Amino acid sequence: MCLAIPWFPLRMYTMRCWLSIQSRRQGMLEVNIKELRKQLAEYIARVEAGEEIIVIRQEKAVARLMPPVRPCPQFPALTEFRASIALRGEGLSETVITERRKARY
């Protein structure tokens, strides 16, 4: 990893190096295009894991890589299942009311 030092004699090298440093802003990873090309597979793996990556060109955000929005799995309707259950005896609410009355007197 290279660091940009203001008194470093080669200003252009320093600027290129500074732009290639990855920084985190607001929980998102920022990377310039050159760095993205070098390590594309690594960044795609990170996106698959759920991270968002901002692509930078000349200090401006130009794209955002993020995992696709996947629909939530729908649970099957339970109305048929509930209708197929046969209850034996009295209902729960009736049992509770009966037991409360017994406990009072």
pLDDT of residue 105: 73
Q: pLDDT of 43-95, one tens digit each?
A: 999 999 989 999 999 989 999 999 988 888 888 888 888 888 887 888 889 99
pLDDT of residue 90: 85
pTM, to two decimals? 0.45
Q: Domain range holding 40?
A: 11-65
Distance from C-alpha of 103 to C-alpha of 8, rounded to nearest angstrom? 87
Is residue 58 in a domain? yes
Is residue 29 in a domain? yes
Confidence of residue 27 (pLDDT cuts 50, 70, 90): low
Token pair, residue 7, equals 């008194």
Distance from C-alpha of 26 to C-alpha of 23, rounded to nearest angstrom? 10
CATH assignment at residue 16: 3.40.1620
pLDDT of residue 23: 41
pLDDT of residue 11: 42
User: In this model, does residue 1 exceed pLDDT 80?
Assistant: no
Is residue 72 in a domain? no
Distance from C-alpha of 36 to C-alpha of 54, rounded to nearest angstrom? 10
pLDDT of residue 26: 53
Decide which of 25 and 54 is more confident. 54
Is residue 24 in a domain? yes
Is residue 22 in a domain? yes
**Domain total of the chain:** 1
